[in-house]
Every structure is written in C-alpha cells, then in structure tokens.
A and B are shown apart, each in its own frame.
Chain A
Amino acid sequence: MLYHLSVFLVNSPGKLEKITKILADNNINLRAMSLASSGDFGVMKLLVNDPDKAFEVLKQSQLTVTKRHIIAVVVDNQPGSFNKLLNQLAKKGINIEDCYGFLLSNAKTAAIILEIENQPDAQKVLSEIGCKILTEDQLYN
C-alpha cells in the first residue's frame, strides 16, 4: 500500500519552511509535493522516501498530518502519454481527487501520483487496462 502525507497549514510566512526543516533534520527525502490553498489555509501533500517516519516526526512537531492512500502510475515521458492515461480513467468512470507527477531518474518515464477516493478496486482496474503501477521500493527510493 502506497501513501503520501497530507499536512494542514495556515497560509503565513515560515509555515512551509517549518515542514521542510523537520524533514531535513530527520534525513527524510522529499520526492514530490503539491500544495492546494484556500486563501487563509491550505493542504500540502508530501511524497517522501519514508512516510511512516515522516508521519511520526511531523506529528511530534504539533503539525496536523494524516496519511492518504495513493496509486503511482508510470507513463512515458513523451507527448500525449498523460492524456492517454486520463482517457482510460475517464472511460472507466474513475474520478481523481488529487494528482501530481514527477520525472523518474531515468528521465524516460514519469510517475503520476493519483488519489482516488471511494473506489477500492481502482488499482485493479488500472492494472487491467495495462497501466504500469509502481511498487513501494520503486516509488520511495
């Protein structure tokens, strides 16, 4: 089971820095992130190499944090590949709650992180339609 961390944060100077400092101090590597803001407050999604440890240290620092299940799909680093994935998801009626992506180290492929709620079999459906799904090892390291 893959997951990233969701952190509540108030929109004010130094709040993001506090989070990244905690990660740095604990030697946790940030693989990717996304940030959604509603003006005064926002939610940060963190994909790290050691989510369990990151969860504990953030929590100990009084931050409001929760783990959220994700699916990581590999796509080719070329025009139209993300569209192809979305097209397949749309056809299957799968709704994406949150999504971001980053290039993998070979630069030939990219990982797309998907949060899909209320659809426990989403991963199975994705496999069936031929998506390549990353394992814990491949994603975190």
Chain B
Amino acid sequence: MFWQKEIELMDTDALRKFQLEHINKSIKTAKNSQFYKKQLDGIDKIDNLEGIKNLPFTTKEDLRNAFPYGFLATDLKNAVRLHSSSGTTGNPTVVFHTAEDISNWANLSARCMYTAGARNTDVFQNTMGYGLFTGGIGFHYGAEKLGMLTIPVGPGNSKRQVWFMQNFRTSVMHILPSYALRLYRTIEEMNINVKKDLNLKIAFIGAEPHSEEMRKKIEELYGIKAFNSYGLSEICGPGVAFECPCQNGLHVWEDFVYPEIVDPKTLEVLPDGREGELVFTTLQRQAMPLIRYRTRDLTRIISEKCSCGRNHRKIARITGRTDDMMIINGVNIFPIQIEKTIMAIPEAGKNYIIEIFEQNYMDKLCIKLEINNENFGGTLQDLEKLQHKLENELKQEIGVSPLIKFVDAGSLPVEEGKAKRVFDLRKK
C-alpha cells in the first residue's frame, strides 16, 4: 500500500512542523545563490507557517533573468545535472540538481507509482521523451528505484511500442493521454485485442491537461486504471503530485513541497478549497531551492481527508494557466518563442496568427502568415523555401513541427494595440 508508510501517513501536525523546519532550511540553502542572496536579504527564517506570506514570490521571469547560474545554490562540484526548457530565444529556464536531489526525485517518483499500484514485478514501458525534458527521465529513475523492469522506448513509433508490449508483457506504461488514444488505433489496426492479447494494467498520464472524460475513455479502451500525474521541471519534474487509488485529486507530497493557492491578481493567500494560482516552496531541494514559486497553474487545494489514509493534501485537476504558455502534445511553448523566430526571418511577413487544433487525437500547431507585397518575390520556389525555413527554424526553437500556412495580405484579424495571435481551437 505504502512506499514510505511513515511519511505518507504522517499526521497533519507533524507534517506542518516538518514543513516549517524545512522551509527555514530551504531559505538558508537558497541564500547561497546569487538570486536569493539579494531577494531574501535580511530574511533568515519564518517563525510559523503563516509567516510564509511575508516572503517574496519567485517567478519564471526571475528564473530567466538569472540565467544561466543565478539560482545555483551549491558549489558546481556538487551539481550533477541540469534540465532546461526548450528554445534559445529569451532565456530558457534552467534547473540544477545535486546527486541527492536526483535521488530524492527518483524516490518521489517511485512513491507516486507505488501509490498507484505499480510493484517491482511489473514491466514498465516509458513512452515519454528523454533528454532536457523531465517527463521521461523522472519516471525512468523512479521506475528503476521501485524495481520495475524498465523499457526506455521513448516517444513515437507506435508499432514498436506495441511490439514491446506484446513481447515483454508490459503491465505499466507512462504515456501522454493524447498519445494513448492514438496508440489504441494502431493496436486495433494491427488486429490486436488490447484487453486479451496485452498485459497492460496501469497507465500514468500527464504532461498535458486532460479531462476526466479523457481518463475514463483511456481506462475503458485499454481496460486499465489511468492515474493523473502532475509536475513541473522547476520543482524537479513529474512526481510533485499524484493520484492515489481513490482517483479524486492528486496528493501533493507535502514533505517535498509546501503548496499555497494565491489570488493571481492580488497575490493574497486563499483558503483551501478556493481556486487560484498554485505556489510551491521546495522543502528538500539542494542545488536549487525555490521559495514561493508561482507555477502559473490554476487549481484548488482539497484538504478533506482522503480515504486512502494519506494526510498530504490534494490538488484538483489543473483548470488553466495565468500566463500565455501553450502545451502542445506535452511540450511547453510560449508565443514569444514563435514571435522572435518569425521576426528573425527578414523575408517572412510580420502579420501572423497561431492556431492550435486537434487532429487524430494529436495537437496541431499551425502558423498562418500573411504574404504581402513587401515579402513576395513572385516565384513559387521562394515561397516554398520560406515555408521550409519557417518550419525548420520553429522546430528548432520550440521542439514541435508546426504547419505553415500562407494566407492573403489583410486576411488576418487586425486589432488595436497588442494583437491577439493565439487561437486555441481544441475542445476543452
């Protein structure tokens, strides 16, 4: 039932005491970094958890401005890994880990999977991307820690995925919810009965927002249990919050982070149950502690006791974002990355919109760009060259292949002031 019974069943008073102690430890460690040395100047500790509201927030902008090493709170000799967001325009956000951080993260990720029912006799197929993205690697380490036979197959190539599932009797998979639906089609096309011919029992789904209906659909199609996973690379990656068998909200591991919900406008702390922006203070991170980090994710805290017995409070499904970040097939993209890439290509027009829609259970990113008299040379070859250039440069910057559509001059909406460029046509 429990991976770390003592921690998972810790009562609320003990948890709060642990949190206060570790927030103060994090403050002390954080102040070894350039950023927090200034940000927390004159602050050494808080006397009670209430006091956290007096600490300043940390934002993604702060992370970017402190690029590359401004948040590193340990000697370089202790840092063993970095993860980073995509792209090079603006500064990507970079996150550092010590060996202890990696070990804690693996343990947290193992705890999540164990909570959902995975055991060391399971065969685990990880279909998430590896590399700078934390989704794949985070679960990989956790799965090995748990003792599962781990197949690091990575994303895509559906037939190969099914081949592994068949031959090695994969029982647990980590998968993007949208990809789970697409993969099902491939399984059908291969005339394989997913419930009889395969051995799947559990899926961990995350990295992109999805509805309860989508989860139910995945569970029905595959005849499995699907568990929602939440994480963000700034804190570590996946493992920050996870569903227990009750499947009614995600337990935030309160020995690892201290969660708050704040009003995104006034930044006042809101009581449990009210929806607002999720804010985390890390409790155990060594290379890069974060104090009151604004996740930009909108949710609420569920503090009612969970029938699984764990006292770690839960968060509800993420309902949206307070910034303009887009999530395309699990990849986080900011419109500014697209803007800067287009602006750096002189022959490209400057009037464009970004459309996101769904096709075949896949998110599609489409850039519609006006062709006008300033950038039209008069030949089809030039246009095709521009199209390929845009595709390649954008792919490099955002990690997602966009569709490039050329449209007539003056056909895109023009607005006063800041133009609305992003049109998300996906069903919510």
In the assembled complex, the Cα of A16 lies from the Cα of B406 at a distance in Å of 16
Within 8 A of B (CB), among A34-57: 36-38, 40-43
Closest chain A CB from B383 CB (angstroms): 7
**Do B408 and A64 have beta carbons less than 8 Å apart?**
yes
- Chain A: residues with Cβ within 8 Å of the partner, total of 21
**B408 & A38 in contact (Cβ 8 Å cutoff):** no
- From B22-30, B211-219, B232-240, B370-378, the one touching the partner chain is B370-378
Q: Would A43 and B380 count as touching, CB distance under 8 A?
A: yes
CB pair B410–A8 under 8 Å, yes or no, is no
With A8-B371, A59-B373, A62-B410 as contacts: A40 and B380 at CB distance below 8 Å: no
Contact with B along A67-79 (1 / 0, CB 8 A): 1100000000000
B350-376 near A? 1/0 per residue, CB < 8 Å? 000000000000000000000111001
Closest to A66 in B: B378
**Least CB distance, A17 to chain B, in whole angstroms:** 14
B409: chain A residues within 8 A (beta carbon)? 62-64
Contact pick for B384, options A38, A59, A65, A67, CB 8 Å? A38
User: Chain A: which residue is nearest B408 at the CB level?
Assistant: A10
A136 at the interface (CB under 8 A from B): no
Q: Which single residue of chain B is at the shortest CB-CB distance from A69?
A: B378
Residue from the set A41, A42, A59, A67 with the largest chain B CB neighbour count within 10 Å: A41
Check A10/B383 contact, CB under 8 A, given A65-B373, A66-B373: no
With A8-B371, A41-B406 already in contact, the answer to whether A98 and B383 are too (CB < 8 A) is no
Cα A42 to Cα B379 with chains together (Å): 9
Q: Is the Cβ of A36 less than 8 Å from the Cβ of B407?
A: no
Asked whether B182 is an interface residue with its Cβ less than 8 Å from the other chain, the reply is no
- Considering the chains assembled together, what is the distance between the CA atoms of A103 and B130 in angstroms? 63
Residue B405 is within 8 A (CB to CB) of chain A in the complex: yes
Q: B391-412, CB under 8 A of A: which get 1 and which 0? A: 0000000000000011111100
Partner of B408, one of A62, A68, A97: A62
**A43 adjacent to B379 (CB under 8 Å):** yes
- How many chain B residues touch A (Cβ–Cβ < 8 Å)? 17
Partner of A8, one of B376, B384, B387, B405: B376
Contacting residues, chain B, for A41 (C-beta < 8 A): 371, 383, 405-406
CB distance from B93 to the nearest CB of A (A): 35
* A8 to B47 CA separation, bound complex (whole angstroms): 68
Contact of B378 among A10, A43, A59 (CB under 8 A): A43
B348 to chain A minimum Cβ distance, whole angstroms, is 14
CB distance from B380 to the nearest CB of A (A): 5
CA distance A107 to B46 in the complex (A): 96
Given A64-B371, A64-B373, A65-B373, does the pair A10, B379 have CB atoms closer than 8 Å? no
From B378, B380, B407, B410, A68 is in contact (CB under 8 Å) with B378
How far does the alpha carbon of A41 sit from the alpha carbon of B382 in the complex, in Å?
12
Contact indicator A66/B410 (Cβ below 8 Å) = no
B379 contacts across to A, CB distance below 8 A:
6, 43, 68, 97-98
Which B residues have a C-beta under 8 Å from some C-beta of A? 371-373, 376-380, 383-384, 387, 405-410
Interchain Cβ contacts under 8 Å between A and B, 19 examples: A6-B376, A6-B378, A8-B408, A36-B380, A37-B380, A38-B380, A38-B383, A38-B387, A40-B405, A40-B406, A41-B371, A41-B383, A43-B378, A59-B373, A62-B408, A62-B410, A63-B409, A64-B371, A66-B378
Q: Which residues of A contact B (CB under 8 A)?
A: 6, 8-10, 36-38, 40-43, 59, 62-68, 97-98
